[in-house]
Amino acid sequence: MALKITVIGTGYLGATHAAAMAELGFEVLGLDIVPEKIAMLSEGRVPMYEPGLEDLLKRHVAGAPGATGRLRFTSSYEEAGQFGDVHFICVNTPQKHGEYACDMRYVDNAVESLAPHLHRPALVVGKSTVPVGSADRLAARLAELAPAGADAELAWNPEFLREGFAVEDTLHPDRIVVGVTSDRSEKVLRDVYATPIAEGSPFVVTDFPTAELVKTSANSFLATKISFINAMAEVCEAAGGDVVKLAEAIGYDERIGKKFLRAGIGFGGGCLPKDIRAFMARAGELGADQALTFLREVDSINMRRRGHMVELAREAVGGGFLGKRVAVLGATFKPDSDDVRDSPALNVAGQIQLQGAQVTVFDPKGMDNARALFPTLAYAPSALEAVRGAHAVLHLTEWREFRELDPVGLGEMVAERRILDGRNALDPDYWRDAGWTYRALGRPMA
């Protein structure tokens, strides 16, 4: 009989995973503790912006016209326990307040709420990013709380999707990693992922700690790569070099590669910053803190970028922000997402406002989330409106729409034609030809 799947926690990861599992042919029940999310998803509406996700949802959600009806949502753990053979845990694992460590209470709650409803053999599969050692602890808790006892097994299956490409990444993963303790669990997960495996996605079977570490080490590597090129940008600025040319030139070396070498205001979002911090905290608990001290430097290079952008903007407007208008293009931590968690763009906008400037922000998809997080910033309905009367324009999230702006038309709206490119994504000549002063991190002035 075909496996029935539940997805617990329907945020960026879970909503995508639930819709993708339905696309792969499974009957799926999504569960969240936020009733508004369940109501929206049940109507075929996605509570966040993720390209292609709403179409996928509408193709499967029960009740939508022409849908397969394979996908439903609930807030009842009892229903989930009765329904599912495989339960994916996709809840959030944020940074603890005032500490580097990961806050595991959402994962713990999810497991503790589900377990008492597992009366028959079931596989609980953790997808959330957790500190190494969590799966061992949760497996014991599951066996203790589930009426099915040892027949309620745990597996760990870290998720590598990128916001902005989440649907594609979930349907066609570049690898599937499963931490398991039994052949049965491995077989169940091979069945779940039969389609991508048949398409060629590598399937890597590990123990629990390795599966957990694969995710945190992958994120640490990516964060390190970004901070590496940002450190080179700092040196380029000091020495009069050009980090964009430098990145191009080192990127031709296949061992280095071109990706993730764009210098700018650094990484943010709901994953990289908190994941490298939680990794350091966990390594400390394990007595392996020395191994990860470099991540402290990676983090500090990254955070320094935001301050540096503020300094460049202050310099650009003549040394002080009082009485100046600054336009900020971009609020999300990356393009093609509405996610503003730990967004460098909003952080820079907030700092500049605190120093006395009047800051107006525009973002193609992140306005509602930005407003909720930084209600005191001003928001404009378009890029053109945001730059009206500005003494400096800051390009802080590399949306395609910003690359396609017309610098001539924009130039007629601003007080001063000054653009600071915090993402090294605009074409300097194009802007300079239209009479703008273009400045970017890690590049010569003109």
Ligand X SMILES: NC(=O)c1ccc[n+]([C@@H]2O[C@H](COP(=O)([O-])OP(=O)(O)OC[C@H]3O[C@@H](n4cnc5c(N)ncnc54)[C@H](O)[C@@H]3O)[C@@H](O)[C@H]2O)c1
As annotated, the active-site residues are: 271
4 binds ligand X (CB under 6 A): no
Q: Any known ligand binding at 93?
A: yes
The answer to whether the beta carbons of residues 7 and 80 sit under 8 Å apart is no
33 binds ligand X (CB under 6 A): yes
The three state secondary structure string of 313-378 is HHHHCCCCCCCCEEEEECCCCCCCCCCCCCCHHHHHHHHHHHCCCEEEEECCCCHHHHHHHCCCCE
- Position among 3, 11, 388, 434 found at the interface with ligand X (CB under 6 A): 11
Q: Any known ligand binding at 334?
A: yes
Q: Any known ligand binding at 324?
A: no
CB of 400 to ligand X, least distance (A): 20
Handedness of CA 136, 138, 141, 147 (dihedral sign): negative
> d(Cα 212, Cα 130) in Å, to the nearest integer?
7
Q: Any known ligand binding at 388?
A: no
Of 92 and 360, nearer to ligand X (C-beta) is 92
170 binds ligand X (CB under 6 A): no
34 binds ligand X (CB under 6 A): yes
- CB-CB neighbours of 111 under 10 Å: 25
Report which residue's Cβ sits closest to ligand X: 11
The answer to whether the beta carbons of residues 402 and 329 sit under 8 Å apart is yes
What SS3 class is residue 121? Answer: coil
Number of helices (H), then strands (E), belonging to the chain: the values are 19, 14
What is the identity of the amino acid at 432? Answer: R
- Piece in contact with ligand X (CB under 6 A), picked from 51-59, 157-165, 314-322, 361-369: 157-165
Tokens 């075929």, located at residue: 44
Of 344 and 428, nearer to ligand X (C-beta) is 344
CB of 254 to ligand X, least distance (A): 27
Q: Any known ligand binding at 183?
A: no
What is the identity of the amino acid at 1? Answer: M
Q: Any known ligand binding at 261?
A: yes
Residue 382 class from Cβ within 10 Å (0-12 exposed, 13-18 middle, 19+ buried)?
exposed
127: nearest Cα among 24, 28, 15, 273: 15
Of 17 and 314, nearer to ligand X (C-beta) is 17
CB of 361 to ligand X, least distance (A): 22
CB of 346 to ligand X, least distance (A): 17
- Position among 5, 21, 28, 31 found at the interface with ligand X (CB under 6 A): 31
163 binds ligand X (CB under 6 A): yes
The answer to whether the beta carbons of residues 361 and 347 sit under 8 Å apart is no
Neighbour order of strands in the sheet with 325-329: 378-379, 358-362, 325-329, 392-395, 418-421, 437-440
CB of 12 to ligand X, least distance (A): 4
Q: Any known ligand binding at 263?
A: yes
Q: Any known ligand binding at 262?
A: yes
- CB-CB neighbours of 416 under 10 Å: 18
> d(Cα 309, Cα 352) in Å, to the nearest integer?
10
Neighbour order of strands in the sheet with 27-31: 71-74, 27-31, 4-8, 86-89, 122-126, 152-156, 176-179, 203-206
159 binds ligand X (CB under 6 A): yes
Q: Any known ligand binding at 260?
A: yes
> d(Cα 47, Cα 81) in Å, to the nearest integer?
24
Of 189 and 328, nearer to ligand X (C-beta) is 189
Residues 121-140 that bind ligand X (CB under 6 A): 128-129
- Position among 81, 84, 266, 270 found at the interface with ligand X (CB under 6 A): 270
284 binds ligand X (CB under 6 A): no
CB of 420 to ligand X, least distance (A): 28
Q: Any known ligand binding at 409?
A: no
Of 108 and 234, nearer to ligand X (C-beta) is 108
302 binds ligand X (CB under 6 A): no
Residues 70-109 that bind ligand X (CB under 6 A): 90-93, 106, 109
332 binds ligand X (CB under 6 A): no
Binding-site size, ligand X (CB under 6 A) = 27
CB of 102 to ligand X, least distance (A): 8
- Position among 4, 6, 7, 9 found at the interface with ligand X (CB under 6 A): 9
Q: What is the DSSP track for 367-418?
A: HHHHHHH-TTSEE-SSHHHHTTT-SEEEE-S--HHHHT--HHHHHTT-SS-E
Q: Please enumerate, by residue number, every residue annotated as part of a binding site for substrate.
A: 160-163, 215, 260-264, 268, 334
Q: Which residues are annotated as a binding site?
A: 32, 37, 93, 129, 160-163, 215, 260-264, 268, 274, 334, 341
Q: Would you tell me which residues interact with ligand X (CB under 6 A)?
A: 8-14, 31-34, 37, 90-93, 106, 109-110, 113, 128-129, 159, 161, 163, 270-271
